[in-house]
Amino acid sequence: MDAPQICFVVFDGFQPLDLTGPYEVFDHAGYRSRVVAPRAGLVRSRSGLPVHAEFGVDDVDPAGVDTLVVVGGAGVDEARLDAALVGWIAAVGVTARRVASVCSGVFLPAAAGLLRGRRVTTHWKRRDQLAAEHPELIVDCDPIFIRDGRFWTSAGVTAGMDLALALVEEDLGRDVAHEVARELVMFLRRPGSQSQFSVPLWSAQPSSDPIRAVVDAVHAEPGARHGIGDLAARAGLSPRHLQRRFTSELGVPPAAYVERVRVEAARRALAEGDDPVEAIARRCGFGTAETLRRAFHRNVGVPPSDYRDRFRSTREYA
């Protein structure tokens, strides 16, 4: 099939990479893209980089938009007060085949009333604001991107490229997406279920070598023995001393940290493969499927089987 046209929405104070990253992905796949702003002309990004928007919202028939991509950036807080822009996005949402947002761009389709009852994501720093201002949304800032029906949302900056690559694969197939990824030296189809909360984000960084050694060991092999005695021996500390220093430096006790890392490893395994839950539980250090289920409920809120079904049913993009 021919690649459809992509319509990007920008505004003063947008994040340049939210535009240029996905734009390059679509361009390499043969899509035609156009940039729309509240008014045609130069639009200044958050960093000061100017971009020429060929069209203003008054120049584009909403019914003619196939795929809308709304970029993010600090300027979104002011842009969502622009009634003409929000109204145009709302009109596009009625007929467009897909509506997508990158990072904080989600605030615009949310303001337009398009995401009510939808599961969405955004940059982790914007999670609390989005949830507070839009209680009608189901905000999940763990995945790097989420698909809920014809609405797609992604986390910050580079996650927009992952989302764009997933859209290319949906439209044109895996072979085309693979060639685009190779050309741009990207990880092919980084699954949307991958957490945006790597260790530097969901915990503090270790400030001492003994604790850093423990953290590195846990991430290198989540399924290995990581009891308090094992970790203390690796750090060269007593179990009580390790417990105190680890919690002080990272903000969580060692056992909770290990469980979180193991849950993330299990999430990837569930989303990307077909191994039985029991096998994943053993490989990720939980021992039994029941232990994995309890940890999943604590950290994710759903059983492992439901998590897998949800992602598999959306071709691993959700």
Q: What residues are labeled active site?
A: 103
| Nearest-angstrom CA–CA distance, 82 and 12 | 12
Round to whole Å and give the CA distance between 121 and 274: 26
Q: What are phi and psi of 70, to 5 degrees?
A: -100, 120
> Secondary structure of the chain in the HEC alphabet?
CCCCEEEEECCCCCCHHHHHHHHHHHHHCCCEEEEEECCCEEEECCCCCEEEECEEHHHCCHHHCCEEEECCCCCHHHHCCCHHHHHHHHHHHHHCCEEEEEHHHHHHHHHCCCCCCCEECCCHHHHHHHHHHCCCCEECCCECEEEECCEEEECCCCHHHHHHHHHHHHHHCHHHHHHHHHHCCCCCCCCCCCECCCHHHHCCCCCCHHHHHHHHHHHHCCCCCCCHHHHHHHHCCCHHHHHHHHHHHHCCCHHHHHHHHHHHHHHHHHHHCCCCHHHHHHHCCCCCHHHHHHHHHHHCCCCHHHHHHHHHCCCCCC
Using CA atoms, how far apart are residues 213 and 234, in angstroms rounded to an integer?
7
Query: Which residue type does 168 have?
Result: V
Query: CA nearest 300: which of 312, 287, 311, 288?
Result: 311
Whole-angstrom Cα distance, residue 189 to residue 147?
Answer: 14
